Amino acid sequence: MFARWVFASMKAQVCCLAGISMLCLAASSGEAEPSKELRVGYQKSGALLLSKTSGLLEKALTPLGYSVVWREFPSGLPLLEALNGGSIDIGHSGDAPLLFAQAAGIPFQIFAASNPSPESTGVVVPKDSPIRSFAELKGKTVAFARGSSSHLVVAQLLAREGLTFADIKPVYLEPPDARAAFEAKAIDSWAVWDPFLAAAEVEGGARLIVNGAGIGGHREFYFGRAEFLRANPKVVDAVMAVLSDTGQAAKRDPKGTADFLAEKLGISAGVMERSELRKQRYFAQPISTEIVNEQQAGADIFFRLGLMPKAIRVADVVYASHTSTP
């Protein structure tokens, strides 16, 4: 079970997180007491949820005088809105919400990203549908969540086929509503990400016609209020170390991780295990030129299709102290 590595991590790795072992020594001598708060926005999946459960972030930040306040959000867009309103300091999201947030002028910076998992997003049709390719969806209904990573995937697939949103019939639905419409055959297709994609395949009578391979990274991004990140580089270092440690623990116990997340998401362990086979977005790495270019390609497609009010330059929102080159 997931709990095996949670408690092992808490016991053995509190003072062994990369880059902060000296800070742990300071904490043990009583030199620092929490007097400030790091307000973390998280969703009910991913590395931040695992870090919350393990308690490692609290242990890592105590030497810096920080306690941690966790605030849960249903998806990336409301999380970014909360950051804009000043109620959280850092958070995580998929790719597309960040593009819309940047275009809207929200003052954030991205300091890390997961490894890519393009196969964990895609477009499905009912198993008995005659549709075999994305191009055959011209004139058909395609459901997806507005502003989500699936919105970006649909835009990328349209661009690859030389089509626009005028060539399909978009239906904007969040995953629970989209699944109900899909199973009722009220829509022709559904673009969605894991674990909802795996649930559609395993339980919802869906057949995958295309995934995100070759069109984008489909990464998880970690970001914060620009002013907060610039003023607290040691906090950023500690968060990066904890995310790295969490990723290693999840990799060591994939079944336990899947079982834990299945319970949190209210889905079957079988669905979660299928999802975890292709969605391993737990590791955090500094923002590289390759990652910036991936995001920029998505931003350019959104702007070209008229979905963003202005062109953006993704490099402008990269946390400079964690920018690297391939």
Domain boundary among 211, 236, 260: 211
pLDDT tens, per residue, the chain with 326 residues: 444 434 344 333 433 333 433 333 333 344 445 579 999 999 877 788 889 988 999 999 999 999 999 999 888 889 999 999 999 999 999 999 999 999 999 999 999 999 888 998 999 999 999 999 999 999 999 999 988 889 999 999 999 999 999 999 999 999 889 999 999 999 999 999 988 899 999 888 899 999 999 988 889 999 999 999 999 999 999 999 999 888 888 878 877 887 887 787 777 877 877 776 666 667 788 999 999 999 999 999 999 988 899 999 999 999 986 444 44
Instruction: Single out the residue in 184, 211, 238 at which a domain terminates.
Output: 211
Domain end residue (candidates: 211, 240, 269):
211
Give bridge partners of residue 112 from the DSSP assignment.
Answer: 222
CB atoms within 10 A of CB 23: 22
CA 53/CA 250 separation, integer angstroms: 12
Asked whether residue 254 falls in the same domain as residue 106, the answer is yes
Please indicate, yes or no, whether residues 113 and 124 belong to a single structural domain of this protein: no
Do 197 and 238 lie in a common domain? no
For residues 179 and 227, state if they share a domain: no
Residue with tokens 């079957």: 268
Distance in angstroms between the alpha carbons of the first and the last residue of the chain: 36
CA distance to 177, 211, 214, 267, 292, per residue, from 119 (Å)? 23, 5, 9, 20, 20
pLDDT at position 259 is 82
Q: What single letter denotes the amino acid at residue 74?
A: P
Q: What does the pLDDT read at residue 275?
A: 74
- What is the residue range of 302's domain? 2-117+219-324
Whether 121 and 234 have beta carbons less than 8 Å apart is answered as no
Q: What is the pLDDT of residue 46?
A: 79
| Domain CATH for 201 | 3.40.190.10
pTM (2 d.p.): 0.81
pLDDT at site 3: 43
Q: Let me know whether 28 and 152 are in one domain.
A: no
Residue 176 and residue 77 share a domain: no
- Domain count for the chain: 2
For position 254, what pLDDT does the model report? 75
Residue type (1 letter), 226: A
> In the prediction, which pLDDT does 36 show?
93
What is the strand order of the sheet 141-144 is part of? 169-172, 141-144, 189-193, 121-126, 206-211
pLDDT score at 34: 57
Q: Residue 44 has what pLDDT? A: 78
Cα–Cα separations (whole angstroms), residue 187 to 43, 171, 227: 27, 8, 44
Q: Are residues 242 and 297 in the same domain?
A: yes
Residues 97 and 142 both lie in one domain: no
Strand partners, 171: 143
The pLDDT of residue 236: 97
Residues 17 and 34 in one domain: yes
CA dihedral 260→192→103→113, nearest 10 degrees, is 40
* One domain, residues 39 and 81: yes
- Does one domain contain both 262 and 170? no
Residues 172, 66 within the same domain? no
Query: HEC states along 103-142?
Result: HCCCCEEEEEECCCCHHHEEEEEECCCCCCCHHHHCCCEE
Residue 98: phi and psi, rounded to 5, are -65, -35
- Residue 304 is encoded by which pair of tokens? 């070209």
